[in-house]
């Protein structure tokens, strides 16, 4: 359940809102410019954000992170064969200027969405060039954003042209971010980076058929790992002298075909996509003379077909999905003194592949006027091939299933009680066998052919209220993540004395929590919004139970917006997080995390927006108290007092 196609009234192949699932929707703010997808998600209930450094940000959903959370862009998987189970930079390769909306679906969602949907799903949609007039219309747009905390300048120019049956849009974005100033006035050097984005979208509606094509490119030419380049907790000097993604890039070419009422169906949806993700790195340890230069590219191809049908009160959805990834990898060691370079074993075996095939079905049926049931299932197969010689090659084949059951009980016309239970899975990927060969800590990793799928079982119960002036929801949830993959020693040594390690399914993580959100409009001119999430996690890696890794503390926001006249909007926002003293052994060894725990914080910001006929200007001051704080598990301190300006021009000619 991924897309509701609003361009075709009556063709709802997938509906993320009309369901008992625990969901939250995020609409880009009209008063602040986001630097990453994480900035959009930071104010959503049930989502925490971990930032290894500026220009990065990874969502934590139900206590899970990285490859345990599935990210989709217009229905296509961002997760690929090199997606890491830890904090990573890949979600920052979605152009933040080109996001139309985000739906967060929480809890195991592998039945409709496939592998990796253990903690939840982040479904991103981008703008479509859709027009209501039969005459040709032109819509230019320009955005300019300035920020004092990182002395950044960001700009976007977009143009959409079309009419009711055809539309084309193009956009370019440029971002230049300087070193970030934190609350004590210190510039965190180096943390500066640049980013570039280009988008081209075409949409053709031919009555019974509609075709959409996307071409998206986003690149961060050189993104420093700030946590590696500045001393962390327990470190006297920085771990690295050089550590940068150079570059980090994503290219997507995607075509979707929608067909109305074929062969007795309500609708049919077909997707074909190619995605390339470049993860190039330059790394040199402090005091070392050798610099590692690595070029990693994941080439991914997706084919997806799904159809929907209604038979009386019964709504059905079924489909097939194929995903194939091939990894290319090269590595060199450069002697920075002599300038000599030599090839070295790559982190990922060049030519390794991962293929996933899934078949899924879902049914939704009301029982009387007050109860609605939804049930879904999927069967998924994965084939992982690690290229190499007899000692370094590996083959892992898995077959798994997922299922969901949800119920919604409408107590009144505005209040519903909901419940969900789901089983999800994550097939091992190429990254799970990463680091083949010598690894830090006098280790040597060999491939393993005994890996099996990670699995999650989750449940939540909650209440939702919907009235013309209020929307509110609250959920209690529990999730168990079994067979988590980690690196373990084999007890054997290489000839040089290194400890041989392999990846294995050794871990179990359990999380429980509460999440709540509310939007109230007590008066036509006033809107209130609040959200809060609390999670408690434990894990067992075979040595006994302890706190789970990177579990965020209690956190949330409270915001108010006042619109005294149609053109003017004023807002105030309070963000908070509690202390987090429950740390795992890995947390206490992580230089990004204070071994005594993360302190609580409260920040306050204000803003104003004024709109003319075609131009709007928004000004904000965030962290008014210039508070010095760090979000839990992040590798960089949060911005200090930050003055922001956003100027937008929107025009329409021909309508």
Q: Which of 21-35, 268-282, 343-357, 577-591 has the lowest mean pLDDT?
A: 21-35
Give percent helix, percent strand, percent coil of the chain, each to the nearest 5: 5, 60, 35
Q: Shortest CA distance to 513 belongs to which of 478, 548, 540?
A: 478
Phi/psi of residue 340, each to 5°?
A: -80, 140
pLDDT at 392: 67
Tell me the pLDDT of the chain averaged across its residues.
Answer: 91
Cβ(325)–Cβ(298) below 8 Å: yes
Residue 444's pLDDT is what?
78
Cα–Cα dist 419/422, whole Å: 10
Q: Is the pLDDT reported for residue 438 higher than 90?
A: no
Predicted pLDDT of residue 8: 41
Distance of CA 139 to the CA centre of its chain: 30
Range scoring the smallest mean pLDDT among 175-184, 386-395, 617-626: 386-395
Q: Is residue 18 predicted with pLDDT exceeding 60?
A: no
Sign of CA dihedral 60, 584, 637, 532: positive
Q: Is the pLDDT of residue 19 over 80?
A: no
Which pLDDT band, with edges at 50, 70 and 90, does 92 fall under? Answer: very high
Residues 634 and 52 sit within 8 Å (Cβ to Cβ): yes
- Mapped onto helix, strand or coil, the DSSP state of residue 216 is strand
Residue 58 has pLDDT above 60, yes or no: yes
Region 375-393: mean pLDDT is 86
**The two structure tokens encoding residue 574:** 């309070």
Tell me the backbone φ, ψ of residue 131, rounded to 5 degrees. -130, 145
Task: Write out 571-586 in H/E/C secondary structure.
Answer: EEEEEEECCECCCCHH
Q: CA-to-CA distance for 82 and 8, rounded, in angstroms?
A: 36
Alpha-carbon distance of 93 to 275, in angstroms, equals 12
What count of residues does the chain have?
Answer: 655
Q: How confident is the model at residue 16 (pLDDT cuts 50, 70, 90)?
A: very low
Q: What is the pLDDT of residue 168?
A: 98
Taking the C-alpha atoms of residue 489 and residue 507, their distance in angstroms, rounded to an integer, is 14
104 vs 17, more confident? 104
pTM: 0.94
Contact 139, 651 (CB under 8 A): yes
Token pair for residue 435?
């680091």
* Lowest-pLDDT choice from 10-19, 375-384, 513-522: 10-19
pLDDT of 7 reads 42
What's the DSSP call for residue 40? H
pLDDT tens, 275-315? 999 999 999 999 999 999 999 999 999 999 999 998 888 99
Residues 6+ apart with CB under 8 A from 559: 43, 528, 529, 530, 571, 572, 573, 574
Average of per-residue pLDDT across 92-112: 93
**pLDDT class for 31, splitting at 50, 70, 90?**
confident
Q: Please, which residues bridge with residue 551 across strands?
A: none
- Each residue of 138-163: pLDDT tens digit? 999 999 999 999 999 999 999 999 99
pLDDT surpasses 60 at 503: yes
CB 566 within 8 A of CB 524: no
Res. 228: pLDDT tops 60: yes
Report the C-alpha gap between 267 and 261 in whole angstroms.
5
**Burial environment of residue 376 by CB neighbours within 10 A (0 to 12, 13 to 18, 19 or more):** buried
Q: In 10 A of CB 132, how many CB atoms? A: 8
Predicted pLDDT at 442:
66
Taking Cα atoms as reference points, which of 518, 547, 331 lies closest to residue 434?
A: 331
Model confidence band, residue 29 (pLDDT cutoffs 50, 70, 90): confident
CA–CA dist 402, 380 (Å, integer): 8
pLDDT over 70 percentage in the chain: 95
CA 214 to chain centre: 19
Mean per-residue pLDDT, 433-459: 80
Q: What is the pLDDT of residue 10?
A: 35
With bands split at pLDDT 50, 70 and 90, how would you rate the model's confidence at 11? very low
Residue 20: the pLDDT is 65
Which one has a higher pLDDT value, 599 or 434? 599
Pairing of strands 152-163, 180-181: unpaired
| DSSP strand pairing (454-467 vs 415-426) | antiparallel
């Amino acid at each position: 359940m991924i897309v509701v196609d609003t361009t075709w009234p009556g063709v709802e192949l997938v509906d993320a809102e009309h369901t008992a699932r625990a969901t939250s929707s995020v609409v880009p703010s009209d008063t602040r410019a986001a630097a990453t997808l994480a900035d959009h998600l930071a104010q959503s209930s049930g989502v925490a954000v971990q930032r290894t450094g500026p220009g990065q940000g990874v969502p934590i959903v139900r206590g899970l992170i990285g490859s345990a959370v599935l990210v989709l862009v217009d229905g296509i998987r961002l997760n690929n064969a090199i997606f890491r189970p830890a904090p990573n930079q890949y979600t920052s390769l979605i152009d933040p200027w080109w996001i139309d909306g985000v739906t967060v679906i929480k809890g195991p969602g592998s039945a409709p969405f496939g592998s990796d949907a253990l903690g939840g799903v982040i479904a991103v949609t981008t703008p479509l060039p859709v027009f209501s007039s039969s005459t040709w219309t032109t819509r230019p747009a320009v955005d300019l954003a300035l920020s004092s905390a990182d002395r950044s300048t960001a700009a976007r120019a977009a143009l959409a042209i079309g009419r009711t049956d055809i539309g084309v849009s193009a956009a370019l974005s440029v971002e230049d971010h300087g070193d970030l100033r934190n609350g004590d006035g210190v510039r965190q050097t180096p943390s500066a980076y640049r980013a570039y984005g280009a988008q081209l979208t075409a949409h053709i509606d031919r009555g019974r058929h509609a075709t959409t094509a996307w071409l998206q490119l986003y690149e961060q030419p050189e993104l420093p790992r700030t946590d590696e380049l500045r001393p962390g907790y327990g470190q006297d000097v920085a771990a690295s002298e050089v550590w940068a993604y150079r570059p980090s890039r994503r290219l997507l070419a995607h075509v979707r075909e929608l067909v109305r009422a074929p062969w007795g169906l309500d609708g049919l949806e077909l997707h074909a996509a190619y995605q390339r993700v470049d993860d190039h790195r330059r790394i040199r340890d402090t005091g070392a003379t050798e610099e590692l230069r690595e070029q990693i590219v994941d080439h991914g191809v997706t084919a997806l077909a799904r159809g929907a049908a209604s038979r009386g009160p019964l709504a059905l959805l079924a489909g097939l999905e194929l995903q194939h990834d091939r990894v290319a990898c090269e590595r060199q060691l450069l002697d920075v003194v002599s300038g000599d370079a030599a090839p070295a074993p790559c982190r990922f075996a060049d030519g390794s592949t991962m293929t996933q095939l899934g078949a899924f079905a879902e049914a939704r049926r009301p029982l009387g006027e007050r109860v609605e049931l939804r049930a879904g299932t999927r069967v998924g197969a994965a084939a992982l091939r690690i290229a190499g010689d007899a000692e370094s090659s590996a083959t892992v084949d898995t077959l798994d299933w997922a299922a969901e059951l949800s119920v919604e009980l409408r107590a009144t016309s505005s209040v519903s009680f909901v419940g969900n239970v789901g089983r999800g899975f994550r097939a091992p990927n190429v990254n799970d066998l990463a680091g083949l060969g010598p690894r830090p800590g006098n280790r040597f990793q060999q491939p393993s052919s005994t890996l099996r799928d990670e699995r999650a079982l989750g449940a939540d119960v909650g209440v939702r209220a919907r009235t013309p002036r209020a929307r509110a929801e609250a959920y209690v949830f529990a999730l168990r993540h079994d067979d988590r993959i980690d690196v373990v020693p084999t007890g054997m040594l290489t000839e040089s004395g290194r400890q041989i390690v392999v990846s294995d399914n050794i871990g179990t993580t359990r999380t429980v929590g509460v999440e709540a959100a509310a939007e109230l409009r007590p008066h036509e001119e006033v809107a209130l919004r609040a959200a809060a999430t609390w999670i408690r996690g434990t894990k067992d890696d075979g040595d006994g139970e302890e706190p789970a890794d990177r579990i965020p503390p209690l956190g949330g926001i409270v915001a108010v917006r006042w619109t005294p006249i149609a053109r003017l909007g004023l807002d105030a926002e309070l963000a908070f997080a509690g202390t987090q003293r429950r740390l795992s052994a890995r947390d206490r060894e992580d230089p990004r995390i204070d071994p005594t725990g993360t302190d609580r914080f409260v920040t306050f910001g204000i803003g104003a927006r004024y709109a003319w006929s075609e131009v709007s200007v928004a000004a904000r001051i965030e962290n008014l108290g210039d508070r010095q704080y760090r979000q839990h598990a992040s590798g960089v301190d949060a911005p200090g007092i930050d003055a922001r300006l956003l100027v937008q021009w929107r025009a329409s000619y021909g309508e």
